[in-house]
Structure 1
């Protein structure tokens, strides 16, 4: 949850230049699988879309102000973006312009924050404040 709080701070800080969305994928530490001792919720492996949506609603409650969507049960978004289970991306005009490392080890919210800071500076220097990523 600490990572989610840090993400939320970056989202709030950059809401004027970037739209953000969280994609809830399959549960990384299901209660009936590889259990994490510090998990704030006990969520079993999703057996149907409704269970995944229910878990996504829990995430939405932890990240107010940021839309949350859920991956399909075939995990197509997770596979396409190689999230497994935390990963940060910036897309601009349909292209990936920033891809963070695969989590949990490669997940670095500071890298995303720094990328957005540089983007903001480019907007200022170009005299444009209406470009959104």
Structure 2
């Protein structure tokens, strides 16, 4: 998605608290073993790993107070589109409500509207 829509959208990934920490609710298919973040440095290390997975996307880390997570109701994952500082698309909470196809549909329609205007 980051590459496909780079001509019309800037992408940002906010790394929030780890959903499946290796010292907590462990996921057997997790590609990395990341313990619960005890300090901001732990979270920044995990965000750097995430950046390896999406190198063309800006990755930032939430605060240890989880302010972005709280503001956007992101836990475990969530997709948003913001335009001119306003939320114009809010996906469901992941993993059950995470629908990349909805995001693509919104971006495709937006791209078509740009072409036709």
TM-score per shorter chain, which class?
over 0.9
Give the distance between the partners of 1:93 and 1:41, measured in 2 at CA. 35
Partner of 1:129: none
Give the structure, 1 or 2, with the largest relative contact order (CA under 8 Å, sep 6 or more): 1
| TM, length-normalised to structure 1 | 0.87
Partner of 1:15: 6
Give the distance between the partners of 1:51 and 1:103, measured in 2 at CA. 23
Give the distance between the partners of 2:6 and 2:98, measured in 1 at CA. 21
SS at match of 2:65: coil
Give the alignment partner of residue 93 of structure 2, picking from 78, 102, 122. 102
Number of residue pairs aligned between Structure 1 and Structure 2 = 117
SS at match of 1:13: coil
**Mind listing any 5+ residue stretches in structure 1 that lack a counterpart?**
1-9, 127-133
Partner of 1:5: none
Runs of 4+ in 1 over 3 A off after TM superposition: none
**Mind listing any 5+ residue stretches in structure 2 that lack a counterpart?**
none
Partner of 1:7: none
| TM, length-normalised to structure 2 | 0.99
- Structure 1 residue 87 and structure 2 residue 78: aligned? yes
- Structure 1 residue 47 and structure 2 residue 34: aligned? no
Tell me how large the CA RMSD over aligned residues is.
0.4
Q: Which has the higher helix share?
A: 1
